[in-house]
Amino acid sequence: MAFQDHVERVAGEVVGAFPADSGIYAVTFRVDSVDQDPRSPYVAIGYTTEADAAESAEKASDAWEARWSYAFFPETGLEGVRVAGRDPGAAEVHRREAESRGIWYEDGEEPGDRPELLVEWFYEVCVAAARHLHDSGRIVETLGRPVPVILYDMFDPDAMFRLTSHANPAELIGEFMSGDSG
């Protein structure tokens, strides 16, 4: 199984197990890596609900921040429900694919631009997994309606709008994208 296939499969399983009728308005993908090493990426897949946004409204500076800023996501949105990419089988597939792409490097080796290339490749994997959730109908099947998948990397906040815009149909992210000042 290819690394992309693995991430898509796990994302589908996670979303398929979300509680129905719970007010979920966004699926969340926190793109991260173990010890900030791009050779060990993972995505924490979760969600946030209308009740979470209402609770955050008291603390946030505005309605957009309460609803869309990962700083206000609940544990289910920040830590996710489950991660994909960190398990040993996926890690080995990731390594083999990175080696075949010429972007793998070993400790002590001059990495050049390979760390950035690994990050961008994983971003592509996550965007494709989010698009697959839409295209396969998994989100609608589970939640009864389409909702956006918000992709974010807490170590690269500027990537959030670009990744989310590539991962979702435009009609689902208008409100989210209104917070993009870039």
DSSP 148-168: -EEEE-TT-TTHHHHHHHHHS
- Residues facing 151 on adjacent strands: 29
Is residue 144 scored above 90 in pLDDT? yes
pLDDT in tens, 110-131: 999 999 999 999 999 999 999 9
Q: Which segments within the chain are labelled E, that is strand?
A: 24-33, 41-49, 82-84, 149-152
Angle CA(173)–CA(10)–CA(53) in degrees, nearest 5? Answer: 40
Question: Where do the H-state alpha helices sit in 57-113?
Answer: 63-68, 75-78, 88-101
Pick the more confident residue, 89 or 146.
Answer: 146
CA-nearest of 148, 6, 182 to 91 is: 6
Say how far apart CA 49 and CA 52 lie, in whole Å: 5
Please report which confidence band the pLDDT of residue 88 belongs to, taking 50, 70 and 90 as the band edges. Answer: confident
Among the residue ranges 1-5, 42-46, 86-90, 151-155, the one predicted with the least confidence is: 86-90
CB atoms within 10 A of CB 132: 19
Q: Can you give the pTM of this predicted structure? A: 0.95
pLDDT in tens, 48-85: 999 999 999 999 999 999 999 999 999 999 999 999 99
The residue with tokens 């080995």 is 92
Report the percentage of the chain scoring pLDDT > 70: 99
Q: What is the 8-class DSSP label of residue 136? A: T
CB hemisphere CA count around 116 (13 angstroms): 3
CA-nearest of 98, 83, 69 to 32 is: 83
Distances (CA, A) of 77 to 4, 83, 96, 109, 175: 22, 12, 30, 36, 18
Q: Give the per-residue pLDDT at 115.
A: 98
CB hemisphere CA count around 100 (13 angstroms): 8
Please report which confidence band the pLDDT of residue 164 belongs to, taking 50, 70 and 90 as the band edges. Answer: very high
